[in-house]
Structure 1
């Protein structure tokens, strides 16, 4: 009889523990089923390492994850969408808590994002958007307003030529074909320069966001298009590569050809301070802290804004000189 009572008490205790565990004491709560040790597991797929901006962006994310005490599973897509999709599928298989990625291109993500949604893993877009019509496939998009960046570049050029009637021939070095920054920076710039019909884009070609291709493409353009007044590059690295080509052709960057770029990485800012670039629109890569905060919120099931902008500015030569000593990237 005593043995029966002891067994009954033990069974009651086991049932009580089971009931507590089922009330949210340690399950994954539909958040993706990462390690049940209280540490958030974040899977992040990076575009690649095509520029100084991207390197700074990667470091910001890695440093912020370490500071937050998160486990970061990091993957470099090397500029290839298929590698990025493979990485995201791997994160789903590993049952991470949150997936974040900076899309190589805008299209072709619905299938893998639906798999993540079906697995109960929230997704955050960083730096670049996707063109999916189903906005429920991701929780939020953290990054810059690329259209605004292009518009700010164009507005500066329009202001510089206010009251002038001479034609202004612009060469545009675009980013990676199909990438959100390239599409939007082209759009914003084109909209802005409509304010002055004398400003014309005479040549537009992709430099794939890299310094090497920026140089190579500009070398070809200088041979085929001798009358160039302005270069608008979608990022600093392409602009810096183009500067090498311009100097090799015996021209003075910043004087013979005005140069406008986007990003404001240290090398670009130095070129601006030296007068080789005339104007830079900032696009901050330091998204790490904001991303970690968002990852924590979406894992907890909190509602977040579907679009979160980063704070940025623009730089002239004098502003670049003032900002350079404290520049972090």
Structure 2
């Protein structure tokens, strides 16, 4: 688990990685949440970059990129959100970007939302470029298909920072850097938790995320590779995409319990699908913990479900990118080297810590 500092600290920027702890925006709380969180809920969990060993690759400077320095406060900055903000991850992510821009005095922040339509996201970003954006922060819906945007941005020397999902292109040439989690390791850690709660034996189903992006691919491969390596007694007997949505998670799990009534565990590649699975299991007459569920994200609803016994573990994927994204941009415009990827450290929620950690979930 990542140690949570009490306040932001800013350390020198290394050529291969951030070693900074940056304050991040919180997430709106319901009255019920606020009542249960206490003092811990007053501060959102901060993103922490991994050590240099966890952030490998080449670096990029403003001179190498070919652009000119610009003042963030007086420049148009574009943020492209990919998905409908019904998902707590997306709500917290957008809020973090907006909050940090406001804190820094960036008055020309332009925010778009593609509503889970990739063609709209491409159009959104092209419009941001046409509006004179000097910096683009993009949460990509898909990893492929960005060539039109990349060509236009490169022609105007606009740095692009991608957050939470990668795009299949070349850092420093096509875009500046990626900031996010190690998705493969998230899958590995989810497998470790599933092995633990099942005692190394049983049948497991996978609720796959949306196809066409690296998050789904890496979370799947990490989980399967770890299972092959560490748990020959666990068999993956079912896998189907539920597209990272709660509704599809419920629908797929309803099919699952009919076709595999003896399933022992469900690995959901995000919390929304896991919570949909909980609804389906309740409808099928299952009791809390009868089917072990492990997921990835760290939403408050999922962590609360651990407390209630429906989930057994959640691997965090921290969405509060605002401070780290804008600190990256500031250092880049100051001429400092930026790594091609900045990997953040994510904690785990389990039955041992979930109740006391509700205030750090989003």
Q: TM-score range by the shorter chain?
A: 0.7 to 0.9
Partner residue, 1:16? none
Deviations 1:214-233 (A, max 9, x none): 11111112112212000000
Partner residue, 2:147? 110
Do the aligned partners of residues 65 and 328 (structure 1) sit closer, same or farther apart at CA in structure 2, a change above 3 Å counting? farther
Note the 1:211-250 alignment, pairs <5 A: 211-250=246-285
For residue 135 of structure 1, report the CA deviation from its aligned partner. Answer: 5.3
Q: TM-score, normalised by structure 2?
A: 0.77
Partner residue, 2:164? 127
Q: Aligned Cα RMSD in Å?
A: 2.0
Q: Provide structure 1 residue ranges, at least 5 long, that are not aligned to the other structure.
A: 1-28
Partner residue, 2:61? none
In the alignment, the residues of structure 2 paired with residue 290 and residue 145 of structure 1 have an alpha-carbon distance, to the nearest angstrom, of: 16
In the alignment, the residues of structure 2 paired with residue 181 and residue 158 of structure 1 have an alpha-carbon distance, to the nearest angstrom, of: 22
Q: TM-score, normalised by structure 1?
A: 0.84
Aligned length: 294
Deviations 1:173-197 (A, max 9, x none): 1111112211111011001101212
SS at match of 1:137: coil
The answer to whether structure 1 residue 298 and structure 2 residue 307 are counterparts is no
In the alignment, the residues of structure 2 paired with residue 62 and residue 277 of structure 1 have an alpha-carbon distance, to the nearest angstrom, of: 32
Partner residue, 1:317? 351
For residue 55 of structure 1, report the CA deviation from its aligned partner. Answer: 1.0
Partner residue, 2:237? 202
Q: Provide structure 2 residue ranges, at least 5 long, that are not aligned to the other structure.
A: 1-65
Larger helix share, 1 or 2: 1
User: Alignment partner for residue 134 of structure 2, among 86, 93, 97?
Assistant: 97
Does the Cα contact within 8 Å between 1:269 and 1:320 map onto a contact in 2? yes
Higher relative contact order (CA 8 A, sep 6+): 2
User: Alignment partner for residue 182 of structure 2, among 130, 145, 154?
Assistant: 145
SS at match of 1:60: helix
Do the aligned partners of residues 161 and 273 (structure 1) sit closer, same or farther apart at CA in structure 2, a change above 3 Å counting? closer
Does the Cα contact within 8 Å between 2:179 and 2:325 map onto a contact in 1? yes
Does the Cα contact within 8 Å between 1:96 and 1:121 map onto a contact in 2? yes
SS at match of 2:142: coil
Does the Cα contact within 8 Å between 1:157 and 1:193 map onto a contact in 2? no
For residue 50 of structure 1, report the CA deviation from its aligned partner. Answer: 4.6
Do the aligned partners of residues 38 and 148 (structure 1) sit closer, same or farther apart at CA in structure 2, a change above 3 Å counting? closer
In the alignment, the residues of structure 1 paired with residue 320 and residue 331 of structure 2 have an alpha-carbon distance, to the nearest angstrom, of: 19
Does the Cα contact within 8 Å between 1:211 and 1:237 map onto a contact in 2? yes
Note the 1:1-329 alignment, pairs <5 A: 30-31=67-68, 39-48=74-83, 49-70=85-106, 71-133=108-170, 136-161=173-198, 166=201, 168-194=202-228, 195-254=230-289, 256-324=290-358, 326-327=359-360, 329=362
For residue 47 of structure 1, report the CA deviation from its aligned partner. Answer: 1.0
Does the Cα contact within 8 Å between 1:253 and 1:259 map onto a contact in 2? no
In the alignment, the residues of structure 1 paired with residue 327 and residue 171 of structure 2 have an alpha-carbon distance, to the nearest angstrom, of: 24
